[in-house]
Structure 1
Amino acid sequence: MVLTTTDLTFSSKLHAYLVFNGFFLFLIGLNVTLLLAFLRYPFQVGAYILLPYYTYCKVLTRPETKQGTRWPSFSKNFFLLTILRDYLGLTIHQPLPERLVEAEQTKDAQFIIAVFPHGTASDYRVAMDGMLDQVFPNTYDNVRTLGASVLLLIPIVREIFLWTSGIDASRPVAEKALDKGYSLVVLPGGEAEQIRTICSRERVYLKNRKGFLKLALRKGVPVVPMYVFGVSDFYRTSNAMMGPRLWLVKNLGICIPFAVGFWGSILCPRPVKTTIVVGEPLSFPISDAKQGPTAEELDKAHQQFCIALVGLFDEHKRRLGYGERTLELL
Structure 2
Amino acid sequence: MKIDFAPRNVPLHRRLQTAAVLQWVYSFLGLAPTCIFVFIYLLFTRYWLISVLYSVWWFIDYDTPARGGRRVPYLCGIKVWDYMRDYFPIKLVKTVDLDPRKNYILGFHPHGVLVAGAFTNFCTYATGFRQLFPGLTSYLLMLPLWFRAPFFRDYIMWAGLVPSDKETASYLLCRRGGGNAVVIAVGGAPEALDAHPGTYNVLLANKKGFVKLAMEYGAHLVPVFSFGENEVFDQVENPRGTWLRWIQERLQAIMGISLPLFHARGIFQYSFGLMPYRKPITTVVGRPIRVEKNEKPTVEDLDALHQLYMDELSSLFEEHKSNYGVDKDTHLNFV
- Do Structure 1 and Structure 2 share a fold, with TM-score over 0.5? yes
Shift of 1:208: 1.4
In structure 1, what is the Cα distance between the partners aligned to 2:226 and 2:46? Answer: 42
Aligned to 2:241: none
User: Residues 33-67 of structure 1, C-alpha deviation per residue, up to 9 Å, x if partnerless?
Assistant: 66556777754489434343243135435321112
Give runs of aligned pairs for residues 19-30 of structure 1, distance below 5 A. Answer: 19-21=20-22, 24-25=25-26
User: Residues 52-110 of structure 1, C-alpha deviation per residue, up to 9 Å, x if partnerless?
Assistant: 3243135435321112111223222251x21111112211225x22xxx2x515xx222
Shift of 1:14: 4.2
In structure 1, what is the Cα distance between the partners aligned to 2:257 and 2:51? Answer: 23
**C-alpha RMSD of the superposition:** 2.8
Is 1:210 the counterpart of 2:208 in the alignment? yes
Structure 1 spans left out of the alignment, 5+ residues: 1-8
State which drifts further: 269-278 or 178-187.
178-187
TM-score for the superposition, normalised by structure 2: 0.82
In structure 2, what is the Cα distance between the partners aligned to 1:227 and 1:27? Answer: 22
Q: Could you say what secondary structure the match of 1:126 adopts?
A: helix
Q: Could you say what secondary structure the match of 2:324 adopts?
A: coil
In structure 2, what is the Cα distance between the partners aligned to 1:305 and 1:213? Answer: 8
Is the 2:17–2:83 Cα contact (8 Å) retained in structure 1?
yes
Give the counterpart letter for 1:199 in structure 2.
Answer: P
Aligned to 1:62: 63
CA pair 39-71 structure 1, distance change in 2 beyond 3 A: closer
User: Residues 109-144 of structure 1, C-alpha deviation per residue, up to 9 Å, x if partnerless?
Assistant: 22111111110111332211223213321223xx32
In structure 1, what is the Cα distance between the partners aligned to 2:146 and 2:309? Answer: 28
Q: Could you say what secondary structure the match of 1:113 adopts?
A: strand
Give the counterpart letter for 2:166 in structure 1.
Answer: R
Give runs of aligned pairs for residues 20-99 of structure 1, distance below 5 A. Answer: 20-21=21-22, 24-25=25-26, 43-44=44-45, 47-79=48-80, 81-94=81-94, 96-97=95-96
Query: Percent identity over the alignment?
Result: 23
Aligned to 1:243: 246
Is 1:138 the counterpart of 2:135 in the alignment? yes
Give the counterpart letter for 1:174 in structure 2.
Answer: A
Aligned to 1:153: 148
User: Residues 254-280 of structure 1, C-alpha deviation per residue, up to 9 Å, x if partnerless?
Assistant: 211111123355542111111111111
Aligned to 2:5: none
Residue 110 of structure 1, aligned match among 79, 82, 103? 103
Shift of 1:303: 0.6
In structure 2, what is the Cα distance between the partners aligned to 1:65 and 1:13? Answer: 38
Residue 289 of structure 2, aligned match among 276, 282, 298? 282
Aligned to 2:6: none
Report how many aligned residue pairs link the two structures: 309
In structure 2, what is the Cα distance between the partners aligned to 1:160 and 1:30? Answer: 10
Give runs of aligned pairs for residues 175-254 of structure 1, distance below 5 A. Answer: 175-181=170-176, 182-239=180-237, 241-254=244-257
State which drifts further: 36-45 or 253-262.
36-45
Q: Could you say what secondary structure the match of 2:223 adopts?
A: strand
Shift of 1:319: 1.5
TM-score for the superposition, normalised by structure 1: 0.83
In structure 2, what is the Cα distance between the partners aligned to 1:309 and 1:173? Answer: 25
Give the counterpart letter for 2:87 in structure 1.
Answer: Y
Residue 301 of structure 2, aligned match among 292, 297, 303? 297
Is the 2:144–2:164 Cα contact (8 Å) retained in structure 1?
yes
In structure 2, what is the Cα distance between the partners aligned to 1:172 and 1:266? Answer: 38
Shift of 1:27: 8.1
Is 1:329 the counterpart of 2:334 in the alignment? yes
Shift of 1:252: 2.4
Is the 1:115–1:188 Cα contact (8 Å) retained in structure 2?
yes
State which drifts further: 84-93 or 113-122.
84-93
State which drifts further: 238-247 or 183-192.
238-247
Aligned to 1:307: 311
CA pair 70-280 structure 1, distance change in 2 beyond 3 A: same
User: Residues 277-313 of structure 1, C-alpha deviation per residue, up to 9 Å, x if partnerless?
Assistant: 1111102347xx34x1111111111111011101101
Shift of 1:190: 0.7
Q: Could you say what secondary structure the match of 1:318 adopts?
A: helix
Shift of 1:26: 7.8
Aligned to 1:3: none
CA pair 71-243 structure 1, distance change in 2 beyond 3 A: same
Give the counterpart letter for 1:244 in structure 2.
Answer: I
In structure 1, what is the Cα distance between the partners aligned to 2:37 and 2:133? Answer: 44
Is the 2:92–2:121 Cα contact (8 Å) retained in structure 1?
no
Greater helix proportion: 1
Give the counterpart letter for 2:219 in structure 1.
Answer: V
